[in-house]
């Protein structure tokens, strides 16, 4: 049985667009070693039902949940976390699918 892919979803409220752009430029180098790929990054057009206070969303596909955890704890990613915290308020959630 094949291990199911895992997806990281980030809900984002940008505070500093320039710092956010820098963070976004740096993330791909941190996920590449884990076999991850960007599925979607964008701003919401409108909320169709319920409450959603974030302006942006990102979805990244990883081979499995272990890869998500390893990436999140990696030195490469942790090095840019302070930049992320300056740039935006972010909620990161992983899903196995």
**Region 11-23 average pLDDT:** 97
Statement: residue 46 has pLDDT above 90: no
Residue 49: exposure state from Cβ atoms within 10 A (0-12, 13-18, ≥19): exposed
Task: Determine the pLDDT at residue 43.
Answer: 87
**First vs last Cα of the chain: how many Å apart?**
14
Report residue 88 CA to chain centroid gap.
12
Q: State the residue for tokens 């302006």.
A: 55
* Nearest-angstrom CA–CA distance, 88 and 73: 19
Domain 6-45+53-96 is in which class? alpha beta
**Region 19-40 average pLDDT:** 95
Q: Which element (helix H / strand E) includes 75? A: helix 75-78
pLDDT tens digits along 55-93: 999 999 999 999 999 999 999 999 999 999 999 999 999
Task: Determine the pLDDT at residue 3.
Answer: 84
Report residue 87 CA to chain centroid gap.
13
Q: Is the pTM of this model over 0.85?
A: yes
* Nearest-angstrom CA–CA distance, 96 and 91: 17
**Region 38-52 average pLDDT:** 90
């Amino acid at each position: 049985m094949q291990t199911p892919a895992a997806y990281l979803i980030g809900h984002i409220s940008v505070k500093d667009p320039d710092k956010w752009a820098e963070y976004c430029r740096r993330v791909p180098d941190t996920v590449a070693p884990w076999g991850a790929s960007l599925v979607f990054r964008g701003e919401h057009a409108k909320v169709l039902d319920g409450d959603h206070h974030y302006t942006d969303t990102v979805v990244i596909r990883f081979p499995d949940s272990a890869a998500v955890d390893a990436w999140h704890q990696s030195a490469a990613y942790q090095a840019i976390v302070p930049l992320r915290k300056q740039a935006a308020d972010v909620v990161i959630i992983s899903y196995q699918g």
